[in-house]
Structure 1
Amino acid sequence: MLENIKQLLIPQSRERYGIYPNVLKEVFSQLSRGVQIYIYFTISKLLITLIFFGEALKCELSESHSTATTLILHSIFLLYHEFKYKMELENIEKLNLIQQLLEQQGMNLEQIPDRQTFNKLTMTVKKSIFSQCPDLNRESKFLNFLAQVIIIRFFIMMLDSPFNFNMFEFYQETCDAHLLNVIFIIVLTMFLEFIFLYCLVFVLVIALPLLCCIQIYRKGKQLYSIRKLKRYLESIPPHKYTGLDDTWVKEDKNCCICMQEYAHNESILQLPCSGQHQFHESCVRNWFNISNSCPICRQQLG
């Protein structure tokens, strides 16, 4: 038993997977290193919490003690889960089965692909290991759920505490101050592990509907400005073009919307923009069906 624990704790090199093709050797080694780091991190988290929890037991029992107890249990279950996952990464039969499945899919396992393809392959291998061991999948979901419960519970405890959101000053006045500080740091690291999930929930539940409402508001505001502008333009009398010597036409004798020269007796409308630009009446009215800015200077007229 001790030999097995020692084998799981000591980092393994790529040579351990030397029987496999280059790609799988790199994938298995990367997964093994990731689990190894996470095991060390969880052991450190467990030991620190136990040390400060033992010191805080001298104080009167409080909600921080129950939160620390939950953290300790979560760390123990997490260590068990990670050790079990590490053993699956050492299970030659299952790794051989993964190799056969990938070869049947026609994947080249000798030449290491680009980083994006390699990351996808790593996730595929990890899912394959979890699919071959349903207990790992159930344990992972349970531990994720428990971690989220701990995070939510701790933040509720913060809100209920009379420290006016100045947490560290409040903690320094309590008997189990060090334990609370440690719990805060650990819960913060747990929260960072789930930050992408929370960000996704925030985007789907809050940000996405908010962006839709803002877009609808902007579109409605633009349509209102266009209708208001069109009513204003109806009050401006158009000018009848009389020919090349028409001094009322200040610019070129053509409309920059349709790129056609003004014909005799055509209606020309002058916009109230800073440049007082002129266009065919029909062209500029059609233009303001989709925009409320001058076609030349882009000045907002709504």
Structure 2
Amino acid sequence: MSLIVEMTGHGGPEVLQPRDVSVAEPGPDEVRIRQTAIGVNFVDIYYRNGLYLPPTLPAVLGFEGAGKVEAVGTNVPHLQPGDRVGYAGMPLGGYAEVRLIPQSRLIKLPDTVSDRVAASTLLRGLTAYMLLHEVRAIKRDEWILMHAAAGGVGQLLIRWAKRLGARVIGTVGSESKIAQAKATGADEVLLYKSPGWIDRARDIADGKGVHLAIDGIGGSLFMETLKTLRPFGTLGSIGQPAGPVPPIRIEDLGNIAVMRPSVIASVNNPDFYERGSKALLAVLQDGLESPIGAEYQLHDAARAQADLEAGKTTGSVILTT
């Protein structure tokens, strides 16, 4: 038997319930893996609260994890039992001790990248790659504004951006998170709830505004963040825990661009998944830090989500089996 944590319906963390299940043998092009670590991300919460809809209910959430191959189905030539693997993206099903997954989703892990780091980094790391290389190909000395700079995506993106020679303004929601954002490498850290933060951000960024702003908070902060951009700058909207993004008229944008990039959609593109994964594993092996902020047992997935949703965590959040 294998432990899973199942979403029985939409609602609060209490809809996540542990259950023991039997896991079948892998079919053609499938692999059965025994996971040691599983990533917890805000996208999981979006599915739980009904912003996004799973194919069916009940459903097992989770978009990233790592562990060892237990068995392979037919037509799986490049994997064998005992291989260490990680994954990010569809299909859902990460909150499980053992799961079946298509071989195309699995990435062989180098010895120097642990299961825990892989499970906590693949989705966030591919998000950072997407933003720094695809949404805008960041150049040395360009300015980036990163909201939620002490969070999992924020910390990883800032570290990667600094390796590219970018300059970064981080924002946080409370003074208690300023030190963490500064330790990550942000050149400046602002409280986005404080008056005048927009003008301060523009002043820091050469008095012109930033080249790339990344908003994973949404709500009214989205419209405020637009004002931090310089001409021909780009805003990437990647989340909305503070509420829906307000509608905007295209004629009001002027010489700026707005994107709603989706890493879940991006990793469904095999070319993106391959090049992004290779780039991410290369920088991890080259010393890019990806610290884990909080760790829970799999059966405590509800508490992990509750703490993430309440802003009690910094860095990445994982479940272990």
Task: Give the TM-score taking structure 2 as reference length.
Answer: 0.18
More contact order relative to length (CA 8 Å, sep ≥ 6)? 2
Higher strand share: 2
